Copies of this chain bind each other. A is one copy, B any other.
Amino acid sequence: MTPGCSIPGPIEVADDVLYANAHPSMSHVSAEFVPVLGDCIRMTREVLLTTTGQPFLIAGSGTLGWDQVASNLVEPGEDVLVLNTGYFGDSFADCLQTYGAKVDQITAEVGGVVSQADIESALKTKKYKIVTFTHVDTSTGVLSDAKSIAETVKKVSPETLTALDGVCSVASEEIRMDDWGIDVVLTASQKGLGTPPGLSILVASEKAIKVFENRKIPPNSYYASWKKWLPIMQAYEKGSPAYFATPPVNLIYAYHASLTRITKGSPSLGERLQLHREASKKIKAAARELGLKQVPLDENFAANGMSAFYFPDGVTAPDVLPRLFKKDVIVAAGLHKAMKEKYFRIGHMGISVVDEQRGDIDKVIASMKEAIGQAIESKKV
């Protein structure tokens, strides 16, 4: 990655992962490749702390996970509840509607989360097929409380499924899929999982697979259909090849390299999450010292893998971002439609956090101090 690229994905990936992405072409049905995909399926389970979840690894991006949920777990006309904490909630709802779901949304105020009380009362009004939420909304840095959401759903409407959009949280935030009873975790390769973009990664619980198997009509997508993919994933896991559509062979090698680091390397997965928490605290404390306000309204609902800060009064993106760029620190502009111009986003996931010797976090903090200071100074003149 360009030195110091600190956007919330695609993130910088380790050299051995890049190297694996340049693996000489291999047949997707070769004896060498089959166990590599099989291992990726198994290690994906480890990352999400599930023993019974069914992973789907498909060429695509995070977005394709929404299509999978919408076309395999919901039938046209069924009710779905979307807990909306920003840009990605809007899009998930749009996708669900495309496949015929009747979508109700509870939209949190900007920077806030949806309260358990609101979820509870919504669940009492209607029988929802599924409740979806964005674990970390990348547009706001808001972290939803996955465990409590799943608890509330189980308590009030035990048949309802829960789907967690973990594109910006898998491998940077704690997710205990089995313990918490989450039915779907969907994500992508290019953020906490430290792999180049191009892979849609989804894990479905046994309950979700049962709901899928009991559909009245077949899935209403073809490329995202679990009817097509489930036998393929099962075959590769058992060690034999099967074909529906060609897997992204090189990227699977790259994902394998990154998963091996995450599940078998040092730091352990638990330590990795802890390092994300610490880096996040450091960056948020530094921003507070600079007088920057966080977009998340409550510290307890702020992501550990990214941060979103409002610019100081009178300062805008063109005052800050180019100054950071000159210091080789690339951050992302705002994305939430309500206040795009008023804030910026910093990613701190994966290698820049885990490999502390690189000093990336300190560099980002120092550069942010300078750039914000200069921006404020320039406005005084």
Q: Which residues of A contact B (CB under 8 A)?
A: 1-2, 5, 7, 9-13, 18-19, 21-28, 30, 32, 59-64, 66-67, 70, 94-95, 98-99, 188, 190, 196-198, 218-225, 244-251, 330, 332
Contact of A98 among B1, B2, B64, B218 (CB under 8 A): B218
A245 CB to nearest B CB, Å = 4
Contact of A2 among B12, B30, B247 (CB under 8 A): B30
Alpha-carbon distance A37/B32, docked complex (angstroms): 32
Contact of A25 among B1, B64, B99, B222 (CB under 8 A): B1
A343 CB to nearest B CB, Å = 17
Give the residues in chain B near A225, CB-CB below 8 Å.
Answer: 98
A170 CB to nearest B CB, Å = 15
Q: In the complex the two chains form, is A98's CB within 8 Å of B221's CB? A: yes
A237 CB to nearest B CB, Å = 20
Q: In the complex the two chains form, is A26's CB within 8 Å of B1's CB? A: yes
Q: In the complex the two chains form, is A63's CB within 8 Å of B244's CB? A: yes
Alpha-carbon distance A67/B59, docked complex (angstroms): 14
**Interface of chain A: mostly helix, strand, loop or mixed:** loop
Alpha-carbon distance A298/B63, docked complex (angstroms): 44
Q: In the complex the two chains form, is A246's CB within 8 Å of B190's CB? A: yes
Q: In the complex the two chains form, is A197's CB within 8 Å of B5's CB? A: no
Q: In the complex the two chains form, is A196's CB within 8 Å of B10's CB? A: no
Q: In the complex the two chains form, is A246's CB within 8 Å of B99's CB? A: no
Give the residues in chain B near A223, CB-CB below 8 Å.
Answer: 60-61, 63-64, 66-67, 95, 223-224
Contact of A220 among B18, B62, B218, B220 (CB under 8 A): B220
Alpha-carbon distance A339/B223, docked complex (angstroms): 26
Give the residues in chain B near A11, CB-CB below 8 Å.
Answer: 25
Alpha-carbon distance A23/B17, docked complex (angstroms): 11
Assess A197 versus B66: contact at CB under 8 Å? Given A2-B30, A222-B99. no
Give the residues in chain B near A10, CB-CB below 8 Å.
Answer: 25-28, 246, 249
Q: Which residue of B is nearest A245, CB measured?
A: B63
Contact of A188 among B7, B95, B219, B246 (CB under 8 A): B246
Q: In the complex the two chains form, is B198's CB within 8 Å of A248's CB? A: yes
Give the residues in chain B near A5, CB-CB below 8 Å.
Answer: 25-27
Give the residues in chain B near A188, CB-CB below 8 Å.
Answer: 246
Q: In the complex the two chains form, is A222's CB within 8 Å of B70's CB? A: yes
Give the residues in chain B near A197, CB-CB below 8 Å.
Answer: 28, 59, 246-250
Alpha-carbon distance A60/B246, docked complex (angstroms): 9
Assess A95 versus B222: contact at CB under 8 Å? Given A61-B59, A197-B28. yes
Give the residues in chain B near A247, CB-CB below 8 Å.
Answer: 61, 197
Q: In the complex the two chains form, is A2's CB within 8 Å of B28's CB? A: no
Q: In the complex the two chains form, is A25's CB within 8 Å of B196's CB? A: yes
Q: In the complex the two chains form, is B1's CB within 8 Å of A245's CB? A: no
